[in-house]
Amino acid sequence: MTAQKTIYWIATSLLSALFLYSAFTYLTDTAVIEGTYQDYQYPSYLVIPMALAKISAIVFIILRRPKWVMEWAYAGLFFDLVLACFALYRIGDPGMTLPLFGILVLLISYFFGKTVRP
């Protein structure tokens, strides 16, 4: 396996683990996540759809079929991470390192995936 493939699969695995853990938390600890959403002044009814969207995005990123859905999956996860950074910044939470790490891993997975799995 080439270095590019190794980097791609490590980044994609980390991205998958991050979002699948997040979705698992959304589905198993819904009341706490809804409270957090209310703290950020987001509608709490979005918790379950966000969990399902995160799972679907990871499935399409790993399958890479159809291509246009895979592109939208990356875009959706990118928007989720960027908005998480803005929300954390807005309330003064210093925990922005995880979303920033997520953005880095997502970009690595996306750009290496274009060369490794065209």
Model confidence pLDDT, tens digit, residues 66-91: 999 999 999 999 999 999 999 899 88
Q: pTM of the predicted model, to two decimals?
A: 0.94
Tens of pLDDT, residues 30-61? 999 999 999 888 999 999 999 999 999 999 99
Section 84-104 average pLDDT: 91
For the segment 16-29, what is each residue's pLDDT rounded down to a tens digit? 999 999 999 999 99
* Overall residue count recorded for the chain in this entry: 118
Total domains present in the chain: 1
Q: Residue 14: which domain range?
A: 3-116
Token pair listed for 83: 């908005």
Give the residue among 62, 75, 76, 68 at the shortest CA–CA distance from 16: 62
Q: How is residue 24 written in tokens?
A: 């698992």
